[in-house]
A and B are shown apart, each in its own frame.
Chain A
Amino acid sequence: MDRIKKFIADIGWPRAIIALFLLSLFVLAPFVNVRIDSSISDTLVRFGMNGILVLAMVPMVQSGCGLNFGLPLGIIAGLLGATISLELNALGFLGFFTAIAISIPFAVVFGFGYGQLLNRVKGGEMMIATYVGFSSVAFMCIMWLLLPFRNPTMVWGYAGKGLRTTISVQEYWGGVLNNFLSLRVGEFFFVPTGTILFFALMCLLLWMFFHTKTGSAMSAVGANPEFARAAGIHIDKMRTLSVILSTLLGAIGIIVYEQSFGFIQLYMGPFYMAFPSVAAILLGGASINRASLTHVIIGTFLFQGILTMTPSVINSMLQTDMSEVIRIIVSNGMILYALTRGVRVKSR
């Protein structure tokens, strides 16, 4: 009994509850005739889709900048990459990687500025990050209207200018990763191998980064800024670097998301995108100043699992769609929990 208690204490109550909840959903599924295999493959698809966006939390958390509520900034960089690649009519893998290639410089620039800002507001990062994210999204709304895109599949037919709110990437690079090496069992079970491999690759790269000199310096900054400083590390430099990394991952993440989703969502689309990712990583067991790859993977799986399972199962049980409400409660409840018990981020 005590061992169970301790175990739960280790992983934290909410995590345990949600894991059990998810488990019970999977158990219940057959009884309300929801196909397990299809739900699992849905979960996998969404897992691959969102994984990198969640991964984008890690560098900033590790360097003590708190949860990256400013993710929309990275997403915008990604969107720019994506839209421009479409403008260039780049197709298939080429298109996909063009999008990424183009988004990188944007991400780096945005990240740098964002980092500089956060260095000046140590202690208040999260709130400011949130609003920087929001206002940048709003600002881009204006840009989407004004930027001189010409590709007819992207711009409003009638006006001839101003991008549409949602743009299909199907005939460009939609699903290039999903279908790469993908295996399909029966009509319901489908594994988006490519996407998951790409996610794995990103994880690997990040893991490697944190095993380099710079990487370990970065986590030291997060763990104890004073210590890092005494060890001759330039804290602000490290923080900026981490923010750039996060922004970069955000950019790549959204492109992967879009290729799997099939559409580019502009305007207010990226607005709340930070919150699910934040919730996911916390769900995985991260705290506001410590996060690891395992947290990312577990978290993303749990969170996306809930998102896929609740609509299908709960709805077929109660004949109502409570998934949205459940999503709101779970994700924000999770963040709230982390904020109230999370160790104060040391920053000076």
Chain B
Amino acid sequence: MSSTLLRMEGITKSFFENTVLRNVNLTLERGEILGLVGENGAGKSTLMNILFGLPVIFETGGFEGKIYLEGQEVCFTSPLQALDAGIGMVHQEFSLIPGFTAVENIVLNRESTLYNFLVEIFGERLATLDYPKMKDRAIRAIKRLEVSIDPEMIISEMPVGHKQFTEIAREIEKENTRLLVLDEPTAVLTESEAEILLEAVKRLASQGIGIIFISHRLQEVLEVSNRIVVLRDGEITLEKKASETNIREIASAMVGRRIEGLTTRAAQERVFSTPTMTIEHLWVDMPGETVRDVNLTIYKGEILGIGGLAGQGKLGIANGIMGLYPAGGKVTFEGQPLPLNDPTIPLKKGIGFVSEDRRGVGLILDEGIALNIAFTAMQIHELYIKKFLGGVVKWRDDRAIMKAAREYINMLAIKCLHENQKVRELSGGNQQKVCLARAFALNPKLLFVSEPTRGIDVGAKSLVLDMIYKRNREQGTTIVVTSSELEEMRAICDRIAIVHEGKIAGILPASTDSSEFGLLLMGAKPTVEEGVISVG
């Protein structure tokens, strides 16, 4: 039989109306390392979920296409099946038992056991553990990686790198593992740790294990993989030997996604000179979106885009300034310093925020639209409030709230039955509009909008973007849009800042060629120097 380990043919997958994978063909040889790159939402993870037969795939109507593992067709309906078939997966967030030793984790639920008679009555689970045996197994696995981990060490006391290795060791300890998927294994590692990991990966490949290596650090990908596949909009836009391509090529193959129904505007260069907010050395402790050291100036009246790949920290900036996560650094707004870590202050100073976590932070799902819109304004600016007894009793003026709600419903064309309909019952797009409405109701001088189009249908997307655009043009509100959708930002923003590993990698005018942004996204040096164009 051929040396082909994995062959995926004509994989097509669509979640309800929108297609995320279009006829993808992928092959992997034994002992080959395949670098799989692409923007967030390009379809990498969906492809892997299909390979692993994650329930979500089948709950959403399965997929088209065939998967061959060593020649014969397979179709896993649960990850456990995939594991049995010898496919291992290492996620970037660890799935390890914190209080267990490396050994216990490596052989988790595959422990070697000793027989005792109780097994006959109560089943295998009453067999006692054979620690010595477990230990050699673990050590053997660790040896294959040729890294030094104390097998008796508790996970919770390990440095991040060792956790990562333990996890890989667990996958390869399964004697039948032939294919290993590494999803951003180096994301949480330091440079040195990453080096060791890459070495280990190569070694595994040399032992005949096929590896799919997913990463955003293009340098790594180029260094470690034999072949590189780039996904964009669920299609393969580039497939080359690593030796025959370079970062720039990959970058431009990644970016430049097309979005349906986006009103293309004449990108007129607007020039802004009066800064409204300056951010210096901002750090934000937001899980998964850590901001390390951001310096940024926001000019009055502009629309600034903040881009970057997931986990790089772009979302942390807005959340940090709004005081929702522990933050530090120097932020000045309209000349005065803006204290951090207290959500009340920025709101009172006229800074609005539309959270990326719409259902979690953005809305009270079981309250009516009206209250959701009016709430913040009521609490902060005491709008929609009747005062009695000289302001001792602050009575909620439901009539005023209704009135305001009706205005916004018309203004933003929110589809609903009545003002008091529960927000839970609205579609994603309309929920997003409610969030915008609440932000507008504050009528802020500076408005942060995070992921305005995440998870809403195409029509709503352009509508929401138009709202933001109009608000800026008509009220002159300064708006900062944080989004993973580069093209959307390019459509409405004046400037776009790209965040990489918690720092601003660069700021370019929206009109700049997308491949430049691609490079920034990847953390590579841009060819156009910043500064030159930032202030126009």
Contact = CB atoms under 8 A, between A and B. Distances in A.
B287 to A, nearest CB: 11
Interface string A208-234: 000111111100100110110111111
B395 interface: yes
Contact of A230 (B322, B371, B382): B322
A230 B362 CA distance: 8
Interface string B340-351: 000110011000
Given A220-B364, A232-B347, A211 B380 contact: no
Contacts of A231: 343, 347, 375-376, 379-380
Contacts of A227: 361-364, 375
A212 B385 CA distance: 8
Decide if the interface of chain B is mainly helix, strand, loop or mixed.
Answer: mixed
Contacts of B344: 232, 234
B289 to A, nearest CB: 15
Contacts of B394: 212-214
B304 to A, nearest CB: 21
A105 B278 CA distance: 49
Interface in A225-266: 226-227, 229-234
Contacts of A216: 371, 375, 378, 396
A213 B380 contact: no
A211 B348 contact: no
A234 to B, nearest CB: 8
B367 interface: yes
A226 B347 contact: no
B379 A232 contact: yes
A290 B375 CA distance: 19
Given A213-B379, A216-B378, A217-B379, A226 B361 contact: yes
Interface string B315-359: 000000010100000000000000000011001100001010100
Interface string A88-121: 0000000000000000000000000000000000
B420 to A, nearest CB: 14
Q: Is the interface of A mostly helix, strand, loop or mixed?
A: helix
Contacts of B380: 231-232
Interface residues of B, number: 30
B159 interface: no
B343 A229 contact: yes
Contacts of A290: 366
A214 B391 CA distance: 13
A232 B343 CA distance: 5
Given A211-B396, A213-B382, A230 B375 contact: no
Contacts of B398: 211
Interface in B363-393: 363-367, 371, 375-376, 378-380, 382, 385, 393
A3 B360 CA distance: 33
Contacts of A229: 324, 343
A231 B351 CA distance: 11
A220 B344 CA distance: 15
Given A216-B371, A217-B379, A230 B343 contact: yes
A213 B398 CA distance: 11
A227 B396 CA distance: 19
A279 to B, nearest CB: 24
A213 B393 CA distance: 8
Given A213-B385, A220-B375, A230 B396 contact: no
Contacts of B353: 230
Given A211-B396, A213-B382, A232 B360 contact: no
Given A213-B379, A232-B344, A232-B379, A223 B364 contact: yes
A229 B357 CA distance: 13
Nearest to A216: B396
A230 B375 CA distance: 11
Interface in B385-416: 385, 393-396, 398
Contacts of B371: 216
Nearest to B353: A230
Contacts of A233: 379
Contacts of A211: 395-396, 398
A212 B395 contact: yes
A213 B361 contact: no
A211 B398 CA distance: 9
Contacts of B362: 227, 230
Interface string A192-215: 000000000000000000011111
Contacts of B348: 232
Nearest to A217: B379
A229 B364 CA distance: 12
Given A230-B355, A233-B379, A224 B365 contact: yes
Nearest to A343: B366
Contacts of A226: 357, 360-361
Given A212-B393, A233-B379, 7 more contacts: A212-B395, A213-B379, A213-B385, A226-B360, A230-B362, A231-B343, A232-B376
6 contacts: A211-B395, A216-B375, A224-B360, A227-B362, A230-B322, A290-B366
9 tightest A-B contacts by CB? A232-B344, A213-B394, A231-B376, A226-B361, A232-B347, A223-B364, A232-B343, A224-B364, A211-B396
